[in-house]
Amino acid sequence: EPEVTQTPSHQVTQMGQEVILRCVPISNHLYFYWYRQILGQKVEFLVSFYNNEISEKSEIFDDQFSVERPDGSNFTLKIRSTKLEDSAMYFCASSDTSGTQETQYFGPGTRLLVL
C-alpha cells in the first residue's frame, strides 16, 4: 500500500539555523499538507499546497516558513531561522482530488528539536 514518507525521522538544530524537512507524498496525490504537533498538544494545521502554490495556511505559518515542490516527488518545509518553540513533530500529508472528500494520509513525522 502506498505511503507518505518523511526524512529525516529526527533533526536536532541550533536556534537560528535553517532546517528543511522532506516528504515524499503518495505518487498520484496532488494536495499536500504540513501539520505539527508540539509535545503534549494537539496536531495543528500549517499549510496546504496544490498546483504549485499555497492554497491555505494557518496563522502559525508565518514568514519564517516556506514550502516547495522542487521536483515531481518531493515536498519540503523550510524553517528559515528556527526558534525554541519550533520544536515539535512535523507531519506531512497528501490527498488525491477525487471530489472534495479526499482523505489525508499522513507520514510518520519528523521530530525537530531546536536547542
Partner 1 sequence: AQSVAQPEDQVNVAEGNPLTVKCTYSVSGNPYLFWYVQYPNRGLQFLLKYITGDNLVKGSYGFEAEFNKSQTSFHLKKPSALVSDSALYFCAVRTAHTGRRALTFGSGTRLQVQP
Q: Rule CB under 8 A: which of 85-104 touch partner 1? A: 91, 93, 95, 100-104
Select the residue interacting with partner 1 from 2, 15, 55, 68 (CB under 8 A). Answer: 55
Comparing CB distances to partner 1, the nearer of 8 and 16 is 8
Q: Which three cell numbers stand for residue 30?
A: 496532488
Interior angle at CA 34, CA 29 and CA 37, nearest 5: 135
| Cis omega (within 30 of 0) for bond into 2 | no
Report the first-to-last Cα separation within the chain, whole angstroms: 37
Query: Nearest distance from residue 15's CB to partner 1, in Å?
Result: 26
Site of interaction with partner 1 (CB under 8 A): 4, 6, 31, 33, 35, 41-45, 48, 55-56, 58, 91, 93, 95, 100-109
